Chains A and B, each alone.
Chain A
Amino acid sequence: MKNNIEAPTLEMYIKQDLGLTQNSIEINNVTVSFKTPKGKFDAVKDISLTIRKGEIVSIIGHSGCGKSTLMNTISGMVKPSQGEVLANGKRVTGPGPDRGLVFQNYSLLPWLTVYQNIYEAVDSVLKYFNKSEKKTLVKDTLKMVNLYEHKDKLPGQLSGGMKQRVAIARAFAINPSILLLDEPFGALDALTKSSMHIELLKLWNLDNRNKTIVMVTHDIEEAIFLSDRIVVMNNGPAATIKAIVDVPLLRPRHKKEIVHDPEYMKIHDQLLGMLMDKLSIADIKSSI
């Protein structure tokens, strides 16, 4: 609230999260229900979760288990039916400039160029900046993700990986203290995906690992490589948290070497066991 009294400077935006609570996100007893023709439907039920500042947390689970719904309560796109979500100590009532969003399907506006896509977001969120400050910010962000030479292209002219880089750049440009990624790399091929993981971590490092990142995924390897903790969800409806798995692997992590780490293999097996009931296909006779 106090930010509204005076126009904040760039420094204030960068430092806005200093001095606030160390808990970046608090989810307290959140239930989300939707009305359906068949009656009330609970997507997630009574979930509590605390995420520390600078932490990378993945939410993993089967399709339709409510993991995106849970994340959308943090972004403010979905209002909890019960309970509350605090972001940087403030109650979430809707989307806000302290939380950047990356959507599953990029969600770039196809009639705007790469530059304009980022500029419109910046222009809308950072109202107190003047035009030249905004322009510089967009340019710097584009250079940071190596997209500057593509700035005048339309999204239709970009590959899937580049589109998602633009979407990530758009979320980073407003310099949020919390970054929310909803299955961000789900549509990308394995090679592009791997390089995007590294780019994401680079951006996180550039900011001294101050940003909190919450990511929804169904990819076990991706979750382990990126996260400090992995939240495993039960199958919906009325999904709850099945387990929270710590990933105590040292950073920086090496894509190629990490898979041979015994700790990695242990976590991988543990997650696989939780997510897959049957680990091998049944015998033909017994399945008939």
Chain B
Amino acid sequence: MNVRPVAERRQVLFTFKILYMKNISSNLLSIVYFLCGIGVLLLFWEVSSRLSDGELPGPIPTWEVFYELLKDPFYDFGPNDKGIGLLLWGSIVRVAYGFLLGTLVAVPLGILLGASKIAMNILNPVVQILKPVSPLAWFPIGLAVFQSAPSATVFIIFITSLWPTLINTAFGVSTVPQDHKNVAKAFGFSKFKYVVKILFPYSLPHIFTGLRLSIGVAWLVIVAGEMLSGGMGIGFFIWDSWNAGSMEKIIGGILIIGIIGLLLDKGFSLLQKSFSYEK
């Protein structure tokens, strides 16, 4: 490392300080905005609760019931009486399995579709027909094939995760710019080098966009899937709470689903950013 002159070093330090402070103040500001949003939500909730004469529980009674749930989240009193943590964990695991399997199929298939016009022409109509079908419609087929509700739930998550990943991967692979192809041609890149140094890096951001969409939809579908299959997961928790007549539990469940969904999305957004590049 070359040593910078003192004046320049000071300048750099100064610039750094300003950037750092700017960053902190913008972070502080975004926290303040976030708290404002939560405040508005709580206010709206409280007002609605009072207007409904207690049909809809307010934030405070909900918190009291919810707190009891969170105090012992991992108890296990048999198949129909589990802690919320265990149920949630089960949902996450099923989503992870289905999503991973879906990714393992969708990415290679997407690459094939993007790279080969013939494959695209053959498979595109099939994809177009299957894509708009609600994943829940596949549940009976999953049950028939696997003879088990948990496996059928993983199966619908698998189906859910296929389409966005498949379509985005195919799009990425099929839109490698001519400029990049020209580089490969002009410098005689081998097939392997083309795939590793051009095709894959170019498609990765598109693939991650697909994965982010997939995990989002998968998390939407798992709740409905578990309501259908019953006996497991956060979806069952919601339905079970309805049967038990506890609005407080339902609202608590909704909040948890929302928070986990947000975390999943943020995680994939970070992944997506780390694989994108400046043009």
Residues of A bordering B, CB below 8 Å: 75, 77, 95-97, 101, 103, 105, 107, 109-112, 120-121, 123-125, 154-157, 170, 174
Most-contacted residue by chain A among B182, B186, B187, B189 (CB, 10 A): B186
A-B pair count, CB < 8 Å, reads: 57
Most-contacted residue by chain A among B180, B182, B198, B202 (CB, 10 A): B182
> Given that A105-B179, A124-B193 are known contacts, is A110 also in contact with B277, CB under 8 Å in the complex?
yes
Closest 6 CB pairs of A and B: A156-B278, A111-B201, A121-B187, A101-B186, A111-B277, A107-B179
Q: List 9 A-B contacts (CB under 8 A).
A: A95-B188, A107-B183, A109-B201, A110-B277, A112-B197, A124-B189, A124-B190, A156-B277, A174-B187
- Chain B: residues with Cβ within 8 Å of the partner, total of 18
Given the complex, which residues of B lie within 8 Å of A123, measured CB to CB?
Answer: 193
Given the complex, which residues of A lie within 8 Å of B185, measured CB to CB?
Answer: 77, 95
Given the complex, which residues of A lie within 8 Å of B182, measured CB to CB?
Answer: 77, 103, 107
Q: How far is the CB of A123 from chain B (nearest CB, A)?
A: 8
Contact B180 A109 (CB under 8 A): yes
Contact B186 A110 (CB under 8 A): no
Q: How far is the CB of A156 from chain B (nearest CB, A)?
A: 3
Contact A97 B188 (CB under 8 A): yes
Contact B188 A109 (CB under 8 A): no
A140 to B209, CA, bound (A): 39
Residues of B bordering A, CB below 8 Å: 179-180, 182-183, 185-190, 193, 197-198, 201-202, 277-279
> Given that A77-B185, A95-B186, A111-B277 are known contacts, is A120 also in contact with B179, CB under 8 Å in the complex?
no
Contact B180 A156 (CB under 8 A): no
Q: How far is the CB of B155 from chain A (nearest CB, A)?
A: 36
Contact A103 B179 (CB under 8 A): yes
Given the complex, which residues of B lie within 8 Å of A124, measured CB to CB?
Answer: 187-190, 193
Contact A110 B278 (CB under 8 A): yes
Taking A109-B201, A156-B279 as known contacts, 10 extra A-B pairs with beta carbons closer than 8 A to each other, sorted by chain A number, are A75-B186, A95-B185, A97-B188, A103-B186, A107-B183, A109-B180, A110-B277, A120-B197, A123-B193, A174-B187
Given the complex, which residues of A lie within 8 Å of B193, measured CB to CB?
Answer: 120, 123-124
Q: Which residue of A lies closest to B181 (CB)?
A: A107
Q: Which of A77, A95, A109, A154 contacts B197 (CB 8 A)?
A: A109
Given the complex, which residues of A lie within 8 Å of B278, measured CB to CB?
Answer: 110, 154-157
